[in-house]
Amino acid sequence: MTSTLLIVQFVLAIILTITVLLQKSSSIGLGAYSGSNESVFGAKGPAGFLTKLTFFLAFAFIVNTLTLGYIYNKENKPSIAQEMKDKKIVPLVPKKKETPSAPSAPVAPTTKK
C-alpha cells in the first residue's frame, strides 16, 4: 500500500510541476497582489482548465502526503540508528587473558652522610 502511494506521490509531483509550468503568468513579481484584474482574487477569478487542474492536483498531492505520513507513523518502524543503539558493539580485537603485572622498577640506593 505504501509503495503504491509513494509512486502516486512521485507522479503527482511531476504532473503538478508540469501544469504549473504550462500556465501563463498573470503578471510580473508582486504585481499580482496589487489588485490587477488577472489576479486570483480579481474579477475573473480562477477560470481556465489549467488553473482548475492545478488546484485539483495540489489538493490530491496534499491528501496523499498526509496519508503517507499517517501510514508511516502508524507502522512505527524503528530507524537503523535506533536498531544499532540496541545492539552491543563487538570489539574487533578479542580480549587477551590477563597477564601478570610487570615487576616494579628497582629503587635507587640512598646515600648517608
Angle between helices 2-22 and 49-75 (to 10 degrees): 150
Report pLDDT for 92: 67
**Residue 11 pLDDT greater than 90, yes or no:** yes
Stretch 55-70: mean pLDDT? 94
pLDDT for the residue numbered 108: 79
Whether residue 15 is predicted with pLDDT greater than 70 in this model: the reply is yes
77-106 pLDDT, tens per residue?
A: 666 777 766 666 666 666 666 666 777 777
Q: Which residue has the higher pLDDT, 80 or 37?
A: 80
Count CA atoms closer than 13 A to 94's CA, side-chain side.
2
What does pTM read for this prediction? 0.51
What secondary structure, in 3-state letters, does the chain show? CHHHHHHHHHHHHHHHHHHHHHCCCCCCHHHHHCCCCCCCCCCCCCCCHHHHHHHHHHHHHHHHHHHHHHHHHHHCCCCHHHHHHHCCCCCCCCCCCCCCCCCCCCCCCCCCC
Q: Tell me, what's the pLDDT at 26? A: 62
Predicted pLDDT at 93: 66
